[in-house]
Amino acid sequence: MNTLKALLFDVDGTLADTERDGHRPAFNAAFREFGLDWDWDVELYGKLLAVTGGKERMRHYVEHFRPDYARPAGFDALVADLHKAKTRHYTRLLAAGGIPLRPGVRRLLTEARAAGLTLAIATTTTPDNVTALLRHSLAEDGADWFAVIAAGDIVPAKKPAPDIYLWALERLGLNAAECLAFEDSENGIRSSMGAGLRTVVTVNDYTCDHDFGGAIAVLSDLGEAGAPYRRLDRDETGVVDLARLQAWLP
């Protein structure tokens, strides 16, 4: 049996439910700030999530949902400026304590640290978003809990490309077989499995219908004592701790 050395976590949708009530209103606030009539409601945002990365998502929106919008000269710079404003709105929301960690996340991170496992992050979101979430929703020194934070434009090809996980593994100096990944979306698991990582999935409202073929477990969440996870790929409830993760490994 393989002994686990590291756990690699996606951020958005996995550590916290950030998309619907975090990123989405932050995009909308940036659009208003720039006098644009773009407004992403909950349903439309679900469709836009097919594209990872905020800048990429805005371009996708203009291309596929706003044929009426005439791109100004300097559209690339506008997208970059909008994205900076969006990051400002989003990190302010986090600083106001806006988004809690998902069930079981703090418990598992704490147990893994105490057991001497290495923790890492692999996400397409902007680095500032990650550090703000860890600081305001995990702990003042939350970013220091993670040996590697792989985020944003650090690799050009975002998820579902495996590049961000491969980059994190290289930095960690570990093989995929020594690690486990945690994801919430099909793009995420395609990325992690593309890097050879066994992956545990915790779904959310936006991703519960995604294809998670190949995951070692598909769960409602990580579970807490008194509020166990529900496993979606078989009849089982429980709490994800290190003993259970180890038992799931071949």
Within a 13 Å sphere around the CA of 214, how many CA atoms are in the beta-carbon half? Answer: 19
Contact window for ligand XBP (CB under 6 A) among 5-13, 136-144, 204-212, 220-228? 5-13
- Min CB(15)–ligand XBP separation in Å: 9
190 lines the binding site for ligand XBP (CB under 6 A): no
Contact window for Mg ion (CB under 5 A) among 78-86, 109-117, 178-186, 238-246? 178-186
- Site residues (CB under 6 A) for ligand XBP, limited to 27-56: 52-54
Radius of gyration of the chain (CA): 18
- Site residues (CB under 5 A) for Mg ion, limited to 3-42: 10, 12-13
Contact window for ligand XBP (CB under 6 A) among 4-12, 93-101, 134-142, 208-216? 4-12
Binding site for ligand XBP (CB under 6 A): 10-13, 19, 23, 52-54, 86, 123-126, 129, 159, 185, 187-188
Active-site residue set: 10, 12
